[in-house]
Amino acid sequence: MKPKVFNKLSVRLIFSLSSILIILLSVYTYFILKNLSNYLTASRFQTSYNISEIIKKSTRYDMMLNRPEEVHAIINTLRTLRGVEEIRIYNKQGIISYSTDTTEILKKVDLTAEACIGCHNSSVPLQSLANKDKIRVYKNSENKRVLGLINPILNEPDCSNADCHAHPENVNILGVLDVGVSLDSLDKIIEESRTKVIFASVFLIIVISLSTGFFITVLVNKPLKTIKEGIEAVGNGNLDYRIQIPAKNELGQVARRFNEMSKNLAEAYKEIKKWSETLNDKVNEKTEELKNIYNQVNQIEKLASLGKLSATVAHELNNPLAGILTYSKLITKKLQASNNNEENSKIIEYLELITHESARCGQIVKDLLIFSHSERDEFAKENLLKIVYHSITVINHHLEINGITLVKDYPDEPIEVYCNANKIQQALISLLINSIEAMPNGGKITVNLITEKSNVIIRIIDEGTGIADNDLPHIFDPFYSTKTNSSGTGLGLAVAYGIIANHNGKIEVEKTSPEGTTFKIILPQNKQLD
Cα–Cα distance measured from residue 55 to residue 62, given in angstroms and rounded to the nearest whole number: 11
What is residue 509's predicted lDDT score, i.e. its pLDDT? Answer: 92
- Is residue 182 within 8 Å of 81, Cβ to Cβ? no
pLDDT at 303 over 70: no
pLDDT at 333 over 80: no
What is residue 406's predicted lDDT score, i.e. its pLDDT? Answer: 93
Most trustworthy range by pLDDT among 39-43, 268-272, 420-424, 483-487: 420-424
pLDDT at 500 over 80: yes
The whole-chain average pLDDT of the chain stands at: 76
pLDDT at 512 over 80: yes
Cα–Cα distance measured from residue 123 to residue 68, given in angstroms and rounded to the nearest whole number: 32
What is residue 494's predicted lDDT score, i.e. its pLDDT? Answer: 83
Domains of the chain, earliest start first: 4-190 (3.30.450.20), 260-374 (1.10.287.130), 378-530 (3.30.565.10)
Binning pLDDT at 50, 70 and 90, where does residue 313 land?
low
Closest C-alpha among 333, 326, 304 to residue 478: 304
Write down the H helix ranges in 65-156. 68-79, 117-120
Q: Mean pLDDT throughout 298-314? A: 59
Cα–Cα distance measured from residue 19 to residue 34, given in angstroms and rounded to the nearest whole number: 22
What is residue 79's predicted lDDT score, i.e. its pLDDT? Answer: 77
Binning pLDDT at 50, 70 and 90, where does residue 299 land?
low
pLDDT at 449 over 90: yes
Q: Mean pLDDT throughout 452-477? A: 89
DSSP secondary structure letters along 269-301: HHHHHHHHHHHHHHHHHHHHHHHHHHHHHHHHH
Most trustworthy range by pLDDT among 11-15, 74-78, 321-325, 481-485: 74-78
Strand partners, 359: none
**Better pLDDT: 98 or 411:** 411
Cα–Cα distance measured from residue 271 to residue 274, given in angstroms and rounded to the nearest whole number: 5
- Classify 307 as helix, strand or coil: helix
In single-letter form, the type of residue at position 310 comes to S
DSSP letter at 108 equals B
Binning pLDDT at 50, 70 and 90, where does residue 388 land?
very high
Binning pLDDT at 50, 70 and 90, where does residue 168 land?
low
pLDDT tens for each residue of 114-164? 555 555 555 555 555 555 667 777 787 788 887 777 777 777 665 555 555
Binning pLDDT at 50, 70 and 90, where does residue 322 land?
low
What is residue 262's predicted lDDT score, i.e. its pLDDT? Answer: 79
Cα–Cα distance measured from residue 232 to residue 243, given in angstroms and rounded to the nearest whole number: 11
Cα–Cα distance measured from residue 302 to residue 39, given in angstroms and rounded to the nearest whole number: 118
What is residue 3's predicted lDDT score, i.e. its pLDDT? Answer: 52
